[in-house]
Structure 1
Amino acid sequence: MARGQQKIQSQQKKAEKNAKLKKQAGSDQKKSAAKALIFTCTVCKSQMPDPKTYKQHFESKHPKSPLPVELESVVA
């Protein structure tokens, strides 16, 4: 029966170790960052996280191009 107790302790130790490794790894930053970039510039195809940033980008990088319809109501 001594081996049974050692087996249980070994399983608990392994579970704790796996939990620590999983916690350290966290979420994948590249995937979460890609999900946050939902607006795509119609001219240069760069991605922005929100419409305010998109409007600022468009006004500074593409001043000669007409403003897209979705950005006309956005307050920068």
Structure 2
Amino acid sequence: MARGQQKIQSQQKAQAKQAAAKKQAGHNLKEQKKAAAAGLSYNCDICKSQMPDPKTYKQHFESKHPKNPLPEALKDV
């Protein structure tokens, strides 16, 4: 009967270890999403897509919206 008890304890220990790993993985994913969202600080006025810097925003605007006038914020870039 002792082996049966060891098996149960081993299973419980493994479940606890897996739960801790899942919790840690979920936490890292949330942090990565927050960091990625913070990096995207420029929003296109027309299509609402997000860009990380003004240079990328200007390239996007010139390629995707060539008929629209360039926003004042992008004329200096």
TM-score range for the pair, normalised by the shorter chain length: 0.5 to 0.7
Work out whether 1:69 is the aligned partner of 2:51. Answer: no
Q: Which runs of 5+ in 2 are unaligned?
A: 1-22
Structure 2 length-normalised TM: 0.61
Give 1:28 shift. 1.3
Q: RMSD in angstroms over aligned alpha carbons?
A: 1.8
Distance 1:29 1:64 in 2: 36
SS in 2 for 1:52: helix
Name the structure where helix makes up a greater proportion of residues: 2
In structure 2, what is the equivalent of residue 54 of structure 1?
A: 57
| Identical positions, percent | 63
Deviating above 4 A after TM superposition, structure 1's stretches of 4 or more consecutive aligned residues are: none
In structure 2, what is the equivalent of residue 41 of structure 1?
A: 44
In structure 2, what is the equivalent of residue 16 of structure 1?
A: none
RCO comparison, higher one (Cα < 8 Å, 6+): 1
Aligned length: 53
Structure 1 length-normalised TM: 0.62
Distance 2:46 2:69 in 1: 10
Distance 2:39 2:68 in 1: 26
